Amino acid sequence: MRLPLFLLLAILGTPSPLAAWGRRGHRTVAGLALRDLPPGPAAWFKGQEAFVEDHSSDPDHWKDDPLEGPRHFMELDRYPGGVPTLQSEAREQVGPAVFQRSGQAPWVIQDRVKDLVQAFRKGDRAQVAYRTSILSHYVADLHVPLHTVANYDGQMSGQRGLHSRWETGLVDRMTGEPEVRPAALEPNLLQAPWRWLEETNALVPALLADDRASDATGFHGRDKPDLYWMLFGKRQGPVVKEQLARAGQHTAQLILLAWTQAGRP
């Protein structure tokens, strides 16, 4: 697809959120998703667990594609009246350039579920595993609070670097594993990413406040002292672990949905 020059320049010229979660976070979400599955779909992944986890970060290596970055986030504050759930309506509301800049994560997740349905229908175990890896990545990214706002790195609030402090610094310091939560179907599950997006966005004010409060020592450099990490970890560490658990369960729900729509092969 050829893009109008003005649109391509708008995409290339606009910063986008950094890669979310890092390798450990994405592997955790992918692994949780497989452990959350009931026996039917889980059988498809027997012996392929490591493959699914290993490839769960692949989309972060596709950033040379100018269209890839916006697939990892959705900045709700660029839509003052709320984001229409139809792409055509969203594009019409804010214009094509802002539409691209503001992200498309929920729609991307819906498309990746459809890809997984096709892989199940074809009985292609390798493609089922790979498409599950990719699906898990975008679902995980949707559960990063700073992927839901234009202030994606704290750059608008004097908190630059907050993105990596939350999704990498706290994950690297995490002790224990997030909870395994069994997946179950629910009505209108393909529309659920919009609800998950709103729930994740609701975490942003506390995240910004907790970062400021943890910096009460007055140290504002890039390398935070141990006291900062102790305070920030106490406040936001449980949130990180909860979001990882939710992302794993939600990925599993979408795998279960795809398997069901494919006829429960």
Least Cα distance to 83 among 143, 142, 19, 148 occurs for 148
Reply yes or no on whether the pLDDT at 258 is more than 60. Answer: yes
**Two structure tokens written together for 211:** 């970062």
**Two structure tokens written together for 119:** 């892989």
**Two structure tokens written together for 143:** 């559960």
The predicted model gives 217-236 an average pLDDT of 83
- Compute the distance between CA of residue 113 and CA of residue 260 in angstroms, rounded to an integer: 11
16-20, 83-87, 148-152, 176-180: lowest mean pLDDT where? Answer: 16-20
Alpha-carbon distances of 137 from 17, 127, 143, 154, 161, rounded to whole Å: 14, 15, 10, 23, 22
- Compute the distance between CA of residue 49 and CA of residue 128 in angstroms, rounded to an integer: 12
Reply yes or no on whether the pLDDT at 207 is more than 90. Answer: yes
Average pLDDT, the chain: 91
Long-range Cβ contacts of 62-70 (<8 Å, 24+ apart): 63/19, 66/8, 66/11, 66/12, 67/11, 67/100, 69/11, 69/16, 69/17, 70/11, 70/16, 70/100, 70/101, 70/102, 70/103, 70/104
How would residue 145 be classed by pLDDT, with cut points 50, 70 and 90? very high
pLDDT score of 14: 47
Q: What is the C-alpha radius of gyration for the chain, rounded to an integer number of angstroms?
A: 18
Reply yes or no on whether the pLDDT at 16 is more than 90. Answer: no
Q: Which helix (H) or strand (E) holds 7?
A: helix 5-12
pLDDT score of 9: 43
The predicted model gives 143-162 an average pLDDT of 96
Reply yes or no on whether the pLDDT at 218 is more than 50. Answer: yes
Backbone angles phi, psi at 31, to 5 degrees: -65, -40
- Compute the distance between CA of residue 229 and CA of residue 212 in angstroms, rounded to an integer: 12
How would residue 21 be classed by pLDDT, with cut points 50, 70 and 90? confident
DSSP state of 157: T
Rounded-to-10 torsion of CA 139, 206, 20, 99: 70
32-82 pLDDT, tens digit each: 999 999 999 999 999 999 999 999 999 999 978 888 999 999 999 999 889
**Two structure tokens written together for 148:** 């839901």
Percent of the chain clearing pLDDT 70 (strictly above)? 91
The set of residues, in sequence order, having a beta carbon less than 8 Å from that of 186 and lying 6+ positions away, is 192, 253
Q: How many CB atoms lie within 10 A of CB 179?
A: 14
- Compute the distance between CA of residue 204 and CA of residue 239 in angstroms, rounded to an integer: 11
